[in-house]
A and B are shown apart, each in its own frame.
Chain A
Amino acid sequence: MMRNRFGVPVFRRSGTTFWLGGSVCSFLLLMAMLGPLILNADPSRQDLYHVLLPPSFAHPCGTDAFGRDIFVRLVYGLRLTLGEITVSLIVAAGIGIPVGLFSAMAPRWLDNAIMTVSDVLFAFPGLILALLIVSFLGPGLFHALLAIAAFSVPVYVRLARTMLVRIHHATWMEALTVLGVGRTRIMVRHVFPNVVTSLLVQLTLSSGEVVLAAASLSFLGLGAQPPLPEWGTMMSDGRNALGAAFWPCLFPGLAIAMTVIGLNCLGDGIRDRLDGRNKK
């Protein structure tokens, strides 16, 4: 713990991670919205006279084995990535949170039953459950996203249930009720901020996991299929050119790394900022 010259503990309010993550994420969002408009190029336009060109002014990230501009594909792939995050998190949180809330309010035996099912799903290693689901749904981006959502559902069930139980039994809740504070005021001023922080942190951190898992499945050929400019698929293509050209592999990986680092920083940053007690 840091202390000032009078020996009083000082909490360093370093928001570096928050600002770093926030600016990376906003940059990516902006890029996804405006990039395709500015570039005005077709990500799947092939140019077989200019295959595997190294990075240059005309092609900042080089071209791939079909002569497609990798930078353009990365920018379009960013939209795909944001879509992946949105779809799988909406499915995961959309199922998990209501189930968790219901479980917390349900009779004891039903609560136990729901949590046992959730634990059973949680015991599966993420990608193994995803492979199991993809093996019977068949490969494809949407199926891969459903599979990813499936292994994230238990996280949200547990999160929602714990939050509701914790708030219900919290001393401050009792105090507010005894003080005669209105239900609406309790909900808006006290319950909502409590819930939103944990949820926001969890959603941001899971976004990073979704990006990695979706890219992994696509890389294995079980998620997005070519010619979609999905980053994992691009790396899977680039793998065949390895030895002759490294850039078709290098840049999609850098894009993934940047996105996931940004999301993880933002998640950690939100947690540190909004929850002063939980400082690490």
Chain B
Amino acid sequence: MMPLLRRALAMPLMMLGISFVVFLAIHALPGDPARLLSGPQVPENVVQGLRHRLGLDLPFSAQYMHFLRRALQGDFGVSLRDGTPVSALIVQRLPYSLTLGGLAYLVALSFGIPGGIIAAVCAGKWPDTALMAVTLVGASLAGFWVALIGMEVFAVRLHWLPLMGAGSWKHYVLPVFVLALMPSALILRMTRTGMREILRQDYIRTAYAKGLPSWKILTVHALPNALAPVVTVVALNLGGLVSSAVVTETVFDWPGVARLLVDSVRYRDYPVIQGITLLAVLGVLVATLVADTVNLLLDPQHRTS
């Protein structure tokens, strides 16, 4: 339990470091943000007022403390584009991103785990080779390219699916497929590796010798023990999922958080960039911690170490 506790205690410290990186990145901007915001024509006294209002005339450390205090209260300032609070913008868009990501993981798990078991059982035979080739290709494709080709085939030519946007269940099909590509490949590979390791063990041979049906050996005896690396890889891949969501949501004009981030980068809307970045990193850190906890529950051997 101790290492986990230490990790949990280290997390606020990590977040502090991360908030500093994000703060520094935004404030290391060349030039005066207040002048940048108001444009070149605005008279100096107005810029001075804005500078004061944004707290930019305070010393650096005071600005950072101010930023931290507000961030802890969930206040990341207001968008420079339309003055909406950043937290409100994020809360409004988060459900779209979460459903998309959740569905993608669901698809990835329901393809990757059975696929991995099949590949491990048929190790070295053609189903294994075929599945490994599919995962290699799936992990090597550019998500936005798959998205564009999918749009061309299923939306433009066949009219089966809508082109972009969010609405009915049909809007989910293509983005979920594109997002699920990479995690499916990873989960399949990890399941395969884990299962091959487990299937070699003595207790599996004993189970076969006892005459247990092989489906039962695979699912009840082997799979839970092979899942630890899968849980880890799912958590570690969350960062990758966030990265591919950035491109996928943009291509499909999906009203999610990642799309908002890309728009904000184009407009240099720094408060929004700050808020979303912090949220994404927090998500990844929490996911890693959850994965470690689940692994502890799955494998009692880790509990003592």
Partners in one complex: yes
* Chain B positions 25 through 36: 1 when the CB is less than 8 Å from some CB of chain A, otherwise 0: 110110000000
Q: Which of A123, A132, A264 contacts B273 (CB 8 A)?
A: A132
The CB with the most chain A CB atoms within 10 A, among B13, B29, B243, is that of B243
Residues of A within 8 A of B (CB-CB), count: 47
Contacting pair A249 B242 (CB below 8 A): no
Contacting pair A121 B21 (CB below 8 A): yes
A residues sitting closer than 8 Å to B (CB atoms) are: 1-2, 12, 116-117, 119-121, 123-128, 131-136, 208, 212-213, 215-216, 219-222, 232, 235, 238-239, 242-243, 246, 249-250, 252-253, 256-257, 260-261, 264-265, 280
* Interface presence of B261 (CB below 8 A): yes
B residues sitting closer than 8 Å to A (CB atoms) are: 13-14, 17-18, 21-22, 25-26, 28-29, 124, 136-137, 139-146, 148-149, 151-152, 156, 193, 196, 200, 238-240, 242-244, 246-247, 250-251, 261-262, 264-266, 268, 270, 273, 276-277, 280-281, 284-285
Contacting pair B136 A261 (CB below 8 A): yes
Contacting pair A123 B136 (CB below 8 A): no
Q: How far is the CA of A212 from the CA of B143 in the complex (A)?
A: 9
Q: How far is the CA of A119 from the CA of B13 in the complex (A)?
A: 11
Minimum CB distance partner of A222 in chain B:
B265
Q: How far is the CA of A264 from the CA of B17 in the complex (A)?
A: 33
Min CB gap A32→B, angstroms:
19
Given contacts A125-B242, A125-B243, A280-B196, 16 further A-B contacts (CB under 8 A): A1-B200, A120-B21, A123-B18, A124-B277, A127-B244, A128-B242, A128-B246, A128-B261, A128-B276, A131-B262, A216-B143, A216-B243, A220-B262, A222-B266, A253-B149, A264-B139
Q: How far is the CA of A253 from the CA of B140 in the complex (A)?
A: 11
Contacting pair A220 B240 (CB below 8 A): no
Contacting pair B281 A253 (CB below 8 A): no
Contacting pair A249 B270 (CB below 8 A): no
What are 29 A-B contacts with C-beta separation under 8 Å?
Answer: A1-B200, A116-B17, A123-B14, A125-B242, A127-B244, A127-B247, A128-B242, A128-B276, A131-B277, A132-B25, A132-B273, A135-B268, A135-B273, A212-B142, A219-B144, A235-B142, A242-B148, A242-B151, A242-B152, A243-B152, A246-B149, A246-B152, A253-B141, A256-B145, A260-B140, A260-B142, A264-B136, A264-B139, A280-B193
